[in-house]
Amino acid sequence: MQKILVARPIFPDVIERLKQYFEVDWNNGDVLSAEELTRRLADKDGALTAGDPVGAAVLAAAPRLRVVSNMAVGYNNFDIAAFNAANVLGTNTPDVLNESTADFGWALMMAAARRVAESEHWLRAGQWQKWAYDAFLGSDVYGSTLGVIGMGRIGQALARRARGFNMQVIYHNRSRVAPEIEAELNAQYVSKAELLKRADHVVLVLPYTRDNHHTIGAAELAQMKPTATLTNIARGGIVDDAALVDALRAGQIAAAGLDVYEGEPNLNPALLTVPNIVLTPHIASATEATRRAMANLAADNLIAALGEGPNAGRPANPVNPEVLGKARA
């Protein structure tokens, strides 16, 4: 029987599914260190991860490893060049989290715009003594301009929600989406500079790559309206968190909402000192239905990639399909 490692705690019923096909080594505790992950992968044929870094050194120490199934859409934790060199397949879990993530992005944007977290902290601290006309004045969402950077599946889901708020939608993407999608979303393609200048609410939904590192830094924040908000539900590293703190303190933008951070779960401690920011711990896809769908899709990908189950040899979501069918190098 083939051996797999499940590197993170997931739903026990998904583990039981995997046990029908494999000998399962399940880490149901704290996140594995790099050394422990490498040790436990040494005799494995496959792995199910959730953001655990897998690069050339890990692959070299695991000569039997043929597939790593990531329980996430993003896979910047994979060194794809090393995967391709070793003929190791990586998979991910797109689509099943589009709507719940878009819901959360909308909630985070609105919380930032209407100063929900800031005013709640003030209330809990016992500061509310009277009503005041100018207390916690925020920004309107209805009738404003939404700027989406990254018009993939989740970006499009966000843009669809804008119709109910009578918003103008502008977007920037690596490539322009099809005309019929633009028409459906009533969305206008613009340069990044124009988007930053015009948008009342900027939402980031692009994958993390080396080229996308600090897509939003000091220069970009300086181009935004002082009344604008910035929401990041994409990946840490897309925003220069230190520059964002400076911009918020200086009033260059009005507010921000972050669900992801550079170096998470560690984060820049200065973020905790800024009142006009909403901070959540990478939970945009955190509904039970969505997380179950992600776990089951990751399991399906692993089962199929290792030649088991009804879709043997045909995993639904390969991120480097060019290695399919190749022997481990």
Angle at 160 between CA 156 and CA 166, to 5 degrees: 135
- Does the active-site annotation cover 235? yes
Continuous segment of H or E residues that includes residue 46: strand 46-49
d(CA 170, CA 192): 10
* C-alpha to C-alpha distance for 152 and 98, rounded to whole angstroms: 10
Question: 98: number of CA atoms within 13 Å, CB side?
Answer: 14
- Give the position of tokens 């496959």: 46
Beta-carbon-side half-sphere exposure of residue 202 (alpha carbons within 13 Å): 29
3-state secondary structure of 68: strand
Alpha-carbon distance of 255 to 218, in angstroms, equals 15
Choice among 160, 213, 282, 328 that is catalytic: 282
Q: For 49, list phi and psi in degrees, rounded to 5.
A: -120, 170
Q: ∠ CA 133-139-140 to the nearest 5 degrees?
A: 100
Q: Which of 8, 17, 172, 235 is catalytic?
A: 235
Active-site residue flag, 282:
yes
239 closest CA partner among 254, 258, 266, 264: 258
Q: Report the relative pairing of strands 201-204 and 46-49 from DSSP bridges.
A: unpaired
Question: Do 254 and 226 form a contact (C-beta atoms < 8 A)?
Answer: yes
Q: Are 323 and 67 in contact (CB under 8 A)?
A: no
Looking only at the bridges linking them, the beta strands covering 229-232 and 255-258 are: parallel
Q: Which of the residues 184, 262, 264, 308 is marked catalytic?
A: 264
* Alpha-carbon gap, residue 242 to 271, rounded angstroms: 8
Record the tokens describing residue 98, joined without a space: 């589009």
182 catalytically annotated: no
Which residues are annotated as catalytic? 235, 264, 282
